[in-house]
Amino acid sequence: MLSVPDIVRRLDLASGTIEGCPTTERRLSDLRGVFADSDAYESALQQQDPLIYRVSTIQEGTGQGELHCGLGVLMPGRVGSEYFMTKGHLHSWRPAAEFYIGLKGRGIMLLETDVGNDSVWCNLLPESLVHVPGNTAHRTVNIGDEPLVYIGIYPSDAGHDYSTLTARNFRLVVVAGSHGPKVIRRTDFPAHRLP
């Protein structure tokens, strides 16, 4: 049966929630191992355990051809010189692609092949859309002063594999430089100094 209340959902862009949908919150304590600067991470966590991001999902549809989606709100802030970011993942069903749509704020997406041999980054901005191809790990980074709000739409059978990236992390790191955000290789991170 077609039912309009099930078809139309209200998005609350301020809180990053979709009316009537489950929401997952990630705090700093949920992101151990994500930041390259582990000393800065531990000392930030001793001060407080702030909310880093929230994702509200529509994931009721199942079966071939169905879609799921997540509304993400990623807070502004840094751990040391690294901007707040999501855990990042591969889709468990590796061929599953995803569209990200920027709604508010200024972000960067890190994209990396599933085997980790190629990486790129791109902007995630309002009125722009990012196609994350299949077999590609993806992470969102807030480089602005306000919450970064975006939607991701993906096949219902994509699934989320966090453990592969927990083990190896992304090759690229986004840091605050003296001339604004810059993307460096993780292997170059120890040489990086706070502006």
Contact residues toward ligand PAN (CB under 6 A) are 55, 70, 72, 86-89, 98, 138, 140, 152, 154, 158, 160
Residues in the chain: 195
Q: ∠ at Cα 119 (76, 56), nearest 5°?
A: 40
- When the beta carbons of 17 and 192 are compared against ligand PAN, the nearer one is 17
Q: How far is the CB of 171 from Zn ion (least distance, A)?
A: 18
Which CB, 137 or 175, lies closer to ligand PAN?
137
The interface partner of residue 140, options being ligand PAN, Zn ion, none and the CB cut-off 5 to 8 Å by kind, is: ligand PAN
Measured from each CB, the residue nearest to Zn ion is 98
Write out the binding residues for Zn ion, residues 95-114 only, by CB under 5 A: 98
Provide the minimum distance between the beta carbon of 108 and Zn ion in the complex, in angstroms, as a whole number: 16
User: Which burial class, exposed, middle or buried, applies to 150 when counting CB atoms under 10 A from its CB (0-12, 13-18, 19+)?
Assistant: buried
86 binds, among Zn ion, ligand PAN, none (CB under 5 to 8 A by kind): ligand PAN
Q: How far apart are CA 170 and CA 128, in angstroms?
A: 23
Q: Kindly state the tokens that stand for 69.
A: 């989606």
- In the complex with Zn ion, the residue whose CB is nearer, 98 or 112, is 98
Number of other residues whose CB lies within 10 A of the CB of residue 44: 18
Q: Closest approach of Cβ 126 to ligand PAN, in Å? A: 16
- Residues 92, 113: contact at Cβ < 8 Å? no
Short-list 124, 39, 132, CA closest to 85: 124
Residues interacting with Zn ion, by CB under 5 A?
98
